[in-house]
A = this chain, B = another copy of it.
Amino acid sequence: MRILLINPNTTESMTAAIEAAAKRVASPESMVRACNPADGPVSIEGYVDEAFSLPGLLRIIRQNDGQWDAFVIACFDDTGLDAARCLTAAPVLGIGEAAFHVASMLSNRFSVITTLSRSVAAIEHNLARYGLAARCGRVRASEIAVLDLEDPRSEARASITAEIRRALDEDRVEAIVLGCAGMAPLAAALSAEVGVPVIDGVAAATKLAESLIALGLQTAKTGPYARPVAKIYKGQCQADSF
């Protein structure tokens, strides 16, 4: 089973951490690799970063279609998930989506701890659209910037732990979803520390991708995820024409 994780930002150290998190849980016989586009923002914090990461992300899907059995979009906003699904019949999973589905099978209600408050609304909209908003107590911001998660001198882990404790006190939830790919390395330690399931989307999506592959199932191609119609793309996007 060949699974390609795409970190839609351009920070290679984060891509490496994502690949490591995926490999920790992947089956030994799976081939798991993470990559990132050369073009785009160094981190995705809000709608504008999301938008500028899309062409790079989608070009990776398109160029790799047929060579991998599943794709994972390793940004918690599930950046470009709908568009990516149009470009391949292989399953495509977002790490946000994967984490929500896993949390829904282990708990009645969960809260999400993400990075900056500007990202909260986008995650809430995803939850509503997937149908899982009623399963979520609250989407909380720890106010740690994405790239600070990698900085060993930062207070990142302490801030996240504090926010998890507030969620457990106030939100009437019994599980936690970590709302950023950059938090993947922390999941196991946090779960041990706070005593409730703490779910990382990178690991969750990797295992769900393996599941979909083993089930022999592919993305539905007769509805909104049908392949794009033939069409001219102009200017800088000319090479992206169909």
- Residues of A participating in the B interface, judged by any CB pair closer than 8 Å: 10, 25, 27, 37-43, 45-52, 54-56, 58, 80, 82-83, 85-87, 91, 93, 97-98, 101-102, 104-109, 116-122, 125, 128-135, 145, 168, 172-175, 188, 195-197, 199, 203-204, 207-208, 210-212, 214-226, 228-229, 231-237, 240, 242
Q: State how many angstroms separate the Cβ of A164 from the closest Cβ of chain B.
A: 13
**B56 contacts A54, C-beta separation under 8 Å:** no
**B38 contacts A235, C-beta separation under 8 Å:** yes
Q: Provide a sorted-by-A list of 24 A–B residue pairs whose CB atoms are within 8 angstroms.
A: A25-B214, A41-B234, A46-B86, A46-B224, A46-B229, A47-B83, A48-B58, A56-B235, A93-B105, A97-B105, A105-B208, A105-B212, A106-B218, A107-B219, A109-B223, A121-B223, A122-B224, A128-B134, A130-B131, A174-B220, A199-B215, A203-B215, A207-B212, A208-B211
Question: In the complex, A93 Cα to B219 Cα: how many Å?
Answer: 23
